[in-house]
Amino acid sequence: MTSTETTPFREAPIQPGDLLLSIENLHACVEENEILRGVSLQIRAGEIHALMGRNGSGKSTLSKVVAGHPAYTVTAGSIHYRGQDLLGLAPEDRARSGVFLGFQYPVEIPGVSNLEFLRVSCNARRQHRGQEELDTFAFEDHVRETMAIVQMDPAFLERSVNEGFSGGEKKRNEVLQMALLEPLVAILDETDSGLDIDALRIVANGVKKLALPTTATLLITHYQRLLDAITPDFVHVMAAGRILRTGDKDLAMALEQRGYDWIEEADGSDTLQP
């Protein structure tokens, strides 16, 4: 495992435009059901991508396969991260090397302090990057500063991870984790769902701040309002486990107006129904 490297390892510098994530003809199934049916997607440093599509089209599945969820089996295709075979890495090593998934449904972990969880997690990533690990005191300063990005009350540090958090609070906690881990590729799965109007603006601004010319972001969303705040370079539409169409921000606008039917019809959706 790469996690026990003793020599400090610094991530090689990234230039805008470098290929960060490359998904080729990815097929994945869960309990015999094929959910992903040949997804291909290229994501470069400096880009913001939006992934849209009907409920059940496979968006979350794609994000979890990238993060390494054990329930999904990849049956064909590949995922490369910075040229390296990502599928060969354990989930924790993917995270340590800079792949981040903000969950659509973050789980509650009773009894585990949010502060301690965030500290252990942040240090795991820091260790991988050859940075000094932060002790409790140093981390507390660091996390309080970082919380300002999503305007989160430090009181959330004292609570158990996500336990009893409202839907919106959970999503902010996800963005806080993203800010602490400083990923190179961040996939945010419906981070905008469940946020009130002000929270949406705050979170969108936070994500925008974290999107650098040397990092890439994949926003999974159903709503134009997020994309009004963060302008995507590419918009992809997923249907029945495939990316059916790719366009720019205008495609998202068209979807907002017209729904999904016209695309599926145009692309011959009958062959794609499960």
Binding site for other proteins (CB under 8 A): 1, 3-4, 67-71, 90-92, 94-96, 101, 103, 106-107, 109-112, 117, 120-121, 124-125, 128, 160, 177, 181
Secondary structure string (H, E, C) spanning the chain:
CHHHCCCCCCCCCCCCCCEEEEEEEEEEEECCEEEEEEEEEEEECCCEEEEEECCCCCHHHHHHHHHCCCCCEEEEEEEEECCEEHHHCCHHHHHHCCEEEECCCCCCEEEEEHHHHHHHHHHHHHHHCCCCCCCHHHHHHHHHHHHHHHCCCHHHHCCEECCCCCHHHHHHHHHHHHHHHCCCEEEEECCCCCCCHHHHHHHHHHHHHHCCCCCEEEEECCCHHHHHHCCCCEEEEEECCEEEEEECHHHHHHHHHHCCHHHHHHCCHHHCCC
Nearer to ligand ATP by C-beta: 177 or 221? Answer: 221
Does residue 104 touch Mg ion according to CB under 5 A?
yes
Does residue 35 touch ligand ATP according to CB under 6 A?
yes
Nearer to ligand ATP by C-beta: 8 or 56? Answer: 56
How many residues belong to the site for ligand ATP (CB under 6 A)? Answer: 14
User: Of ligand ATP, Mg ion, other proteins, none, which one sits near residue 170, judging by CB under 5 to 8 A according to partner kind?
Assistant: none
- Shortest Cβ 71–ligand ATP spacing (Å): 6
Q: Work out which of 8, 16, 17, 56 binds ligand ATP, going by CB under 6 A.
A: 56
For residues 92-121, which are near ligand ATP according to CB under 6 A?
104
Nearer to other proteins by C-beta: 44 or 125? Answer: 125
- Shortest Cβ 215–ligand ATP spacing (Å): 23
Binding site for ligand ATP (CB under 6 A): 30-31, 33, 35, 53, 55-61, 71, 104
